[in-house]
Amino acid sequence: MQSSSRRAFLTGRRGAQTPWEAFCRGMRHAVEGSFFEFELPGSEHSARLIPKQAADVHHARKLCADHGVLFALDGVPQAARLDEQPVLWVEPGRDLGACRQLEAGSSKWFVQPGCLLGELEAAGLSQFSDMPCHISVAAWLADRTLCDWETGATAKSGIVHASVLLADGSSVSLGAFGEQNTKPLQGARLQRLIPALFQLAGGSDAQACRQSSRWPARYRLDALLPAPGQVVNLAHLLLGHGGDLGWVEWVVIDQRLAEPMGEQPYSERYTCRRADDCGVGLHASELDAGVKSMFDPTSQLPFPGQDL
């Protein structure tokens, strides 16, 4: 039998892996999609994943958490500068681009994050006709300027249900929530998260932001403060989430409910200066910090300050 010292002499000793090297090695073994490293001058290590299946994203999230790598949605303008720690950019590619009716004749569509907005329009969802046809559903949902409906009017998005992978690895299902919805919250993570969000929505900071005609905070907590005649829908928390709150695995869009944002000029759409312009800067900051800490307490995802 060959001794360990003999094997080491013949094969050479392998130096200790850095956390980044261990991360990349784990990614190459765990995922079926395309994974490659690239270098950006003056920044930490970077890599990109184009998943082939949903499980690739779950593996990537865990490896990011294990090795101190930031998990970032690719294709979101607000996340353009993340250069202070190693980062994995996840691009929802064509293998996660399904778009189909839930059943024949239904107004509801099951949509994965890699589906393009142009494909939704071609399928008959006319509310996307004025949107950039080349961007993915994931990028649309993350973009605050493209999800800038009036305060309390998040139902106009047409989103009725969503599944999101949170930073801690929990997959949670979000949808309508209220007296007429008797389905209990599934899982301990969601049972803790949702009551905390409702408590935040009932506080003075949210009430101050609610007075603005356009929601001034980054995260759409007004999903829990709908306009009269509308019901609370937890999936609307993901509108304009910036890639900061989780990975959207799929959504269900009801084309009967969806409405375009209309002729609102881009100059009037969301910017991070809106809260200050409305006189609620401190209130909005407190809300954003609260929402972020509830969804991503260990900062596995980008911090919302990146879109300043």
CATH number of 48's domain:
3.30.43.10
Judge if 81 and 122 occupy the same domain. Answer: no
Question: Would you say residue 8 lies in a domain?
Answer: no
Q: How far apart are CA 269 and CA 82, in angstroms?
A: 24
Judge if 204 and 276 occupy the same domain. Answer: yes
State the virtual CA torsion across 77, 81, 82, 83 in degrees, nearest 10.
160
Question: Would you say residue 5 lies in a domain?
Answer: no
Give tens-digit pLDDT for 79-95.
456 777 899 999 999 99
Judge if 195 and 299 occupy the same domain. Answer: yes
Question: Would you say residue 2 lies in a domain?
Answer: no
pLDDT over threshold 70, residue 51: yes
Judge if 173 and 256 occupy the same domain. Answer: yes
| For range 26-40, the mean pLDDT | 93
Question: Would you say residue 166 lies in a domain?
Answer: yes
> Dihedral of CA 161/143/190/166: which sign?
positive
What tokens does 251 get? 């959504």
Least confident window among 11-20, 88-97, 121-130, 231-240: 11-20
Question: Would you say residue 286 lies in a domain?
Answer: yes
Judge if 78 and 103 occupy the same domain. Answer: no
| For range 65-70, the mean pLDDT | 96
Highest mean pLDDT among 65-69, 78-82, 131-135 belongs to 65-69
56 alpha carbon, distance to own chain's centre: 16
Can you give the residue range of the structural domain that contains 284?
97-307
DSSP bridge pairs for 47: 37, 88
Q: What is the pLDDT of residue 93?
A: 93
Judge if 112 and 74 occupy the same domain. Answer: no
Q: How many domains does the chain contain in total?
A: 2
CB of 109 closer than 8 Å to CB of 100: yes
Question: Would you say residue 126 lies in a domain?
Answer: yes
Domain boundary among 90, 108, 135: 90
| For range 147-152, the mean pLDDT | 94
CB of 221 closer than 8 Å to CB of 291: yes
- 109 versus 180: which is more confidently predicted? 109
Q: How far apart are CA 154 and CA 160, in angstroms?
A: 10
pLDDT band for 166, please (50, 70, 90 cuts): very high
pLDDT over threshold 70, residue 9: no
pLDDT over threshold 70, residue 8: no
CB of 250 closer than 8 Å to CB of 176: no
Residue 306: C-alpha distances to residues 82, 268, 272, 275, 303 (Å):
8, 20, 10, 16, 6
Judge if 205 and 81 occupy the same domain. Answer: no
Judge if 42 and 64 occupy the same domain. Answer: yes
CB of 157 closer than 8 Å to CB of 261: no
Question: Would you say residue 25 lies in a domain?
Answer: yes
pTM of the model: 0.89
Nearest to 209 by CA among 279, 304, 294, 289: 279
Question: Would you say residue 194 lies in a domain?
Answer: yes
Domain boundary among 72, 90, 108: 90
What tokens does 260 get? 């375009």
pLDDT band for 280, please (50, 70, 90 cuts): very high
CATH number at residue 237: 3.30.465.10
Judge if 77 and 123 occupy the same domain. Answer: no
Give tens-digit pLDDT for 193-243.
999 999 999 999 999 999 999 999 999 999 999 999 999 999 999 999 999
Judge if 158 and 185 occupy the same domain. Answer: yes
| For range 242-258, the mean pLDDT | 95
| For range 103-131, the mean pLDDT | 94
Q: Maximum CA pair distance of the chain?
A: 78
pLDDT band for 44, please (50, 70, 90 cuts): confident
pLDDT band for 107, please (50, 70, 90 cuts): very high
What tokens does 92 get? 């929802």
Judge if 224 and 283 occupy the same domain. Answer: yes
Judge if 183 and 253 occupy the same domain. Answer: yes
pLDDT over threshold 50, residue 286: yes
Domain boundary among 90, 124, 149: 90
